[in-house]
Amino acid sequence: MDTPATGNTRASKASQGNLIASAGRVDDFELTDEERHEIEHEMGHYENPRAASIGALKTVQKRRGWVSDGAIIAISDVLGIPSSDVEGVATFYSLIFRQPVGRHVILVCDSSSCFLTGHDELRDAISDELGIGLGQTTGDDRFTMLPVCCLGACDRGPALMINEDLHGPVEPGDVSALLERYT
């Protein structure tokens, strides 16, 4: 039986794998006690610790805004799995941000329904209002605009989401007033 006193074999193997993963740039990162507790609690819901990866990534992102390389390694150490496994989950899910983003993330739906109902005009109105394109962040770090393949609001296109707030249909003329709500 693995215990903290005797050493967790699974965690040791994960750390060995992390030596390879950490050969690149890794920031000085430490999970807070609260983050660690939340991740360990999430692990308790699953037989396989890999299943807790997405919850662990969301925990870090919720508090820090994005998931750094150091966070990937710290999460893998807690879960006792290779950092490459955590990185694979992080890069698979488009709503896990691997680079810093603005305080408010605008997800512009580019599904077929939204495309047909005015996606391009909506995207252009946001770009004109903020002076940024898709994948960019405003100079004051207030907004980041990203594409998303579907928001599940096909009956309300064109749609967008700001943080966790779904908006639609959004007309280009609505953009300025909508963005002002996120100061």
CA dihedral in degrees (6, 10, 15, 16; nearest 10)?
100
Distance of CA 143 to the CA centre of its chain: 15
DSSP 104-158: EEEEEE-SHHHHHHTHHHHHHHHHHHHT--TTEE-TTSSEEEEEES--S-GGG-S
Q: Is 149 annotated as a binding residue?
A: no
In contact, 76 and 18? CB cutoff 8 Å: yes
What would the two tokens of residue 75 be? 């999460």
Return the H-helix or E-strand segment holding 165: strand 165-167
- The distance of Cα 137 from the centroid of its chain, to the nearest Å, equals 15
Binding site residue list: 109, 114, 150, 154
Binding site residue list for [2Fe-2S] cluster: 109, 114, 150, 154
